[in-house]
């Protein structure tokens, strides 16, 4: 133990003595009540520490995350039944929903703007048939799309003119991988 550690220990000891002294003075006639309060706070503190220590395990169950390893990306199924992937598009991290019913990558207006696409300069010349009807789309080119260890350049995508809650990752991109769905996991390998 070096001098700095000893100083910290002495400081904590003095703080503990001060708090203990205050408790003794405050509860001098009611030591039983003081012990109950101290025990309650001790249990609360222990519960918070246990929750903090277990958070990484609990978080995996509540908010599952994709697992990246060499040559492979595992995506857990979300509670709503869909698979959500985190990709870097032109240096910006974005979330996509894997949509095997979609042909291409479809960006929401918000996501397109976040990667620097000028929405005012887009020409919506294309059309896409969706569950909500026909929508107009504008073709764009993404300089870089990174999923885990895989990087693709010059990827074609479409910006949807209609309102969308998020962006979609269609088969033009997903088809670059071997897709395996096992249990509650989608596994992409290349």
For residues 112-126, give the mean pLDDT: 90
The residues with which 178 forms a beta bridge, in sequence order, are 189
pLDDT score for 3: 78
Beta bridge partners of 188: 73, 179
**Shortest CA distance to 169 belongs to which of 113, 124, 117, 102?**
102
Q: Which residue has the higher pLDDT, 34 or 121?
A: 121
Whether the predicted pLDDT of 5 surpasses 90: no
Instruction: Report d(CA 114, CA 106) in Å as an integer.
Output: 14
Instruction: Check residue 97 and give its pLDDT.
Output: 93
Q: Is the pLDDT of residue 128 over 90?
A: no
Q: What is the pTM of this model?
A: 0.65
Q: How far apart are CA 60 and CA 52, in angstroms?
A: 14
Note the pLDDT tens digit of each residue in 83-117. Answer: 999 999 999 999 999 998 888 999 999 999 999 99
Residue 151: strand, helix, or coil = strand
- How many Å separate Cα 113 from the centre of its chain? 20
> In the predicted model, is pLDDT for residue 45 greater than 80?
yes
Provide the residue count of the chain: 190
Mean pLDDT of the chain: 87
Q: Which CATH number fits domain 67-189: 3.40.50.300, 2.40.70.10, 1.10.3720.10, 3.40.50.2300?
A: 2.40.70.10
- The full set of domain ranges for the chain reads 3-62, 67-189
3-class state of residue 141 by DSSP: strand
Enter the DSSP assignment of 130: E
């Amino acid at each position: 133990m070096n001098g700095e550690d000893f100083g910290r220990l002495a400081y904590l000891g003095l703080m503990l003595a001060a708090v203990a002294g205050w408790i003794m003075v405050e509860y001098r006639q009611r030591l039983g009540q003081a012990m109950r309060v101290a025990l309650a706070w001790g249990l609360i503190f222990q519960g918070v520490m246990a929750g903090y220590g277990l958070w990484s395990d609990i978080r995996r169950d509540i908010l599952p995350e994709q697992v990246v390893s060499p040559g492979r990306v595992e995506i857990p199924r979300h509670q709503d039944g869909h698979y959500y992937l985190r990709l870097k598009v032109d240096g910006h991290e974005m979330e996509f929903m894997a949509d095997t019913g979609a042909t291409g990558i479809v960006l929401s207006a918000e996501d397109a703007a976040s990667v620097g696409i000028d929405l005012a300069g887009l020409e919506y010349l294309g059309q896409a048939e969706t569950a909500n009807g026909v929508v107009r789309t504008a073709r764009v080119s993404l300089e870089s799309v990174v999923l885990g260890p895989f990087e693709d350049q010059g990827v074609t995508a479409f910006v949807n003119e209609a309102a969308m809650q998020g962006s979609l990752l269609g088969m033009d991109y997903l088809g670059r991988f071997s897709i395996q769905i096992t249990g509650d996991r989608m596994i992409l390998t290349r």
